[in-house]
Amino acid sequence: MTKANGKMSSGFFLFSPWMLLLLELSTVFSGSEAAHAVKRFTGLYTGPYFDPTTTTNITTQLGTHAYLPCKVKQLGNKSVSWIRKRDAHILTVDRYTFIADDRFQAFLVESTDTWTLQVKYVQARDAGQYECQVSTEPKMSHFITLNVVVPKIEILGESDMFVKMGSTVQLKCVITQSLEEPAYIFWYHDGDRVLKYDKNAIDIRLDREGTDTTVSTLIIFHTSSEDSGNYTCSPSNLDSASVLLHVLNGEHPAAMQRGKNSASPIPGWSHLSIGLGLAACTPPRFAITVALTLAIISEVLAC
Ligand SMILES: *[C@@H]1O[C@H](CO)[C@@H](O)[C@H](O)[C@H]1NC(C)=O
Ligand SMILES: *[C@@H]1O[C@H](CO)[C@@H](O)[C@H](O)[C@H]1NC(C)=O
Ligand SMILES: *[C@@H]1O[C@H](CO)[C@@H](O)[C@H](O)[C@H]1NC(C)=O
């Protein structure tokens, strides 16, 4: 009992303080009175009962496997079923799966009297309550809530980044709500893996912050026009994120046009260079507006 009590306060929320006190007493006074107190609480020493240390709340990352434990003592020849609360679907009875979805499977670990429901490749819609039911008369139930967290990935800043040729660029790829740290994070430049052959030209840093955040930083020193293009941050276990980098040489808007070639053609592109000085040090959308305005003005003046 002592061992159970230690875990109880953190794992089991159904205990009211007096119940805990009762159990505390039972560890102090061994003997018939204490045994009686415990017996009255579980009331089931003659048959199956749930181990009160069984967790009631499981949190899993999308796409990983979830394990929902159900600890039943003195099970005897009774059956253990897992039922999904959402639609009352019986998922498993003992070792048999009763749903046409082979992601669900139950197995017994005899050494701990635990019937565990395994949910493979957890999906967002798997979130919710699950009932572990023992075939006593009347039936006994233990409920577990499955929480599914979905990691988020983004490259900080605008999706189009404008920098002056020769400057240093940092692309920060931030992954949050990821309980499982990605095994690796690769960067791609227009589809080619970015490797740091020369630490003075390119550096890649990886940081784990807190329990659920991973940051990969790609640093490009002394940018040149060849550094323009699509940069993709691609973790081992998640979707990727991309940005378009535009390295501006202050003369030709070539880099900018290459990045924007899906946009509708705009007359007066050649006048854009007037705006480029501004573009290098202002937010992109504003810079584009300014550049276009200047282009139009100079077009009008030229007439
Ligand atoms: C269950 O765990 C999740 C995530 O850790 C937490 O947000 C939630 O509050 C917990 N729920 C209960 C009832 O403890
Ligand atoms: C379970 O065991 C009890 C006695 O231990 C017996 O009376 C009962 O018939 C058994 N039930 C099943 C379903 O085997
Ligand atoms: C960048 O490349 C990735 C991977 O090839 C692609 O999914 C994404 O759409 C591209 N982004 C842009 C803005 O072109």
Global pTM value: 0.59
Each residue's pLDDT tens digit, 45-66: 578 999 999 899 999 999 899 9
Q: What is the pLDDT of residue 299?
A: 56
Each residue's pLDDT tens digit, 19-51: 333 333 333 333 333 333 333 444 445 789 999
Atom 13 in ligand 1: which residue has the minimum CA distance? 57
Dist CA 82 CA 89 (whole Å): 9
232 CB within 6 A, ligand 3: yes
Each residue's pLDDT tens digit, 236-249: 988 999 999 999 98
Counts of helices then strands in the chain (DSSP H, E): 6, 19
Q: Which of 5-9, 124-128, 256-260 has the lowest mean pLDDT?
A: 5-9
Dist CA 290 CA 162 (whole Å): 14
In whole numbers, what is the pLDDT of the chain averaged over residues? 77
Atom 5 in ligand 1: which residue has the minimum CA distance? 59
- 191-209 burial string, b = 16+ CB within 10 Å, else e? eeebeeeeeeebebeeeee
Each residue's pLDDT tens digit, 93-139: 999 999 999 999 999 999 999 999 999 999 999 999 999 999 999 99
What's the 167 CA to ligand 1 centre distance in angstroms? 46
H-helix or E-strand spanning residue 4: helix 2-11
What's the 118 CA to ligand 1 centre distance in angstroms? 19
